């Protein structure tokens, strides 16, 4: 009988894959496997029983990788399982930055008792006019599972797409559309693109990758999107770049105390992977990985 512990809720459809040989335990110290979504395991004691940790998501920043390696605990993640959910929200972000959808929704709400609302729509149309993303240049930094999906989908929306990734995997390279221009110099993306979206993992080398120097090279009025990790973007530098008019909008799935409520910031509370489908996919993949490992050792 294997014992597993769920550190925070992952979808039932994944857990259903466990057979009667598995028992959910409340005592993390008895578990052979831990399934975790976003809770941090950094301050946790890792018991001797623990053999596997599965993160239902792509990033592994909430897992103490070195501690796990020292104790021989195998760590899994679920690359690609939530890529579709994140990709779709990236486009919602691009559209929110380009069309004043939020302003329009507020206007209707404020005018809900206005008998002439349908006539006044004409004035609102002018006030909330925006621009199209079709025909604009999009730079995708990082061509992993999510970056590739964003890049490919953008070509179908008529965007001119530039991708940058010094470590692109064979799988990603194969699935990248021929219409995406692969750029070897990130500076070219900074210089050329109207929209820049970052999809790299958070590592020592990528921390604050989008910083003062990067913003200085970008086009005036660029839209920057971050659906990867908060610390990839230097928050002081982006707020300065917004004030200077260099960055028109900063769309981020990671609100924090520096950016929340600030002019030019469109912030969403880490909803990229929060779709029924992505949650199910991640849970199924995480459970399958743990099962295969405990039962077959791979």
What is the contact surface with ligand MLT in residues (CB under 6 A)? 37-38, 57-59, 82, 270, 273
State the nearest-atom distance from the C-beta of 271 to ligand MLT, in Å. Answer: 8
- Between residues 34 and 222, which has the closer beta carbon with respect to ligand MLT? 34
State the nearest-atom distance from the C-beta of 61 to ligand MLT, in Å. Answer: 8
- Between residues 37 and 87, which has the closer beta carbon with respect to ligand MLT? 37
State the nearest-atom distance from the C-beta of 198 to ligand MLT, in Å. Answer: 14
State the nearest-atom distance from the C-beta of 84 to ligand MLT, in Å. Answer: 12
Nearest to 81 by CA among 245, 218, 273, 224: 273
Which residue in this structure is represented by tokens 């409520």?
261
Strand order in the sheet with 247-252: 180-183, 160-164, 137-141, 195-198, 222-226, 247-252, 265-267
Q: E strands of the chain, at which residues?
A: 2-6, 22-24, 33-36, 52-55, 74-76, 137-141, 160-164, 180-183, 195-198, 222-226, 247-252, 265-267
- Between residues 51 and 58, which has the closer beta carbon with respect to ligand MLT? 58
- Between residues 165 and 279, which has the closer beta carbon with respect to ligand MLT? 279
State the nearest-atom distance from the C-beta of 272 to ligand MLT, in Å. Answer: 6
- Using DSSP bridges, classify how beta strands 22-24 and 52-55 pair: parallel, antiparallel or unpaired: unpaired
Residues 6+ apart with CB under 8 A from 227: 86, 89, 90, 93, 146, 197, 198, 199, 252, 253, 272
- Between residues 42 and 243, which has the closer beta carbon with respect to ligand MLT? 42
């Amino acid at each position: 009988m294997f014992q597993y512990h769920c550190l925070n809720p992952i979808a039932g459809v994944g857990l259903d894959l466990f057979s009667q040989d598995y028992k959910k335990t409340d005592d993390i110290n008895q578990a052979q496997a831990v399934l975790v979504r976003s809770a941090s395991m950094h301050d946790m004691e890792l018991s001797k029983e623990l053999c596997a940790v599965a993160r239902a998501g792509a990033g592994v920043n909430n897992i103490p990788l070195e501690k796990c390696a020292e104790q021989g605990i195998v760590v899994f993640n679920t690359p690609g399982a939530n890529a579709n959910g994140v990709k779709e929200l990236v486009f919602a972000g691009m559209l929110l930055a380009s069309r004043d959808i939020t302003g329009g929704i507020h206007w209707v709400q404020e005018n809900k008792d206005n008998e002439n609302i349908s006539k006044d729509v004409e004035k609102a149309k002018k006030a909330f006019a925006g621009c199209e993303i079709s025909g604009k240049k999009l730079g995708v930094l990082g061509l992993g599972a999510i970056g590739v999906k964003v890049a490919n989908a953008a070509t179908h929306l008529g965007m001119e797409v530039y991708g940058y990734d010094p470590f692109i995997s064979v799988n990603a390279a194969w699935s990248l559309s021929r219409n995406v221009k692969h750029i070897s110099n990130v500076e070219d993306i900074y210089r050329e693109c109207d929209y820049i979206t970052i999809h790299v993992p958070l590592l020592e080398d990528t921390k604050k990758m989008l910083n003062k120097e990067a913003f200085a090279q970008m086009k005036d009025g660029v839209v920057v999107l971050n659906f990867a990790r908060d610390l990839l973007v230097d928050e002081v530098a982006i707020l300065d770049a917004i004030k200077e008019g260099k960055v028109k909008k900063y769309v981020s799935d990671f609100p924090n105390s520096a950016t929340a409520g600030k002019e030019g910031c469109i912030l969403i509370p880490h909803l990229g992977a929060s779709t029924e489908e992505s949650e199910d996919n991640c849970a199924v993949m995480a459970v399958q990985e743990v099962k295969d490992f405990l039962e077959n050792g791979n």
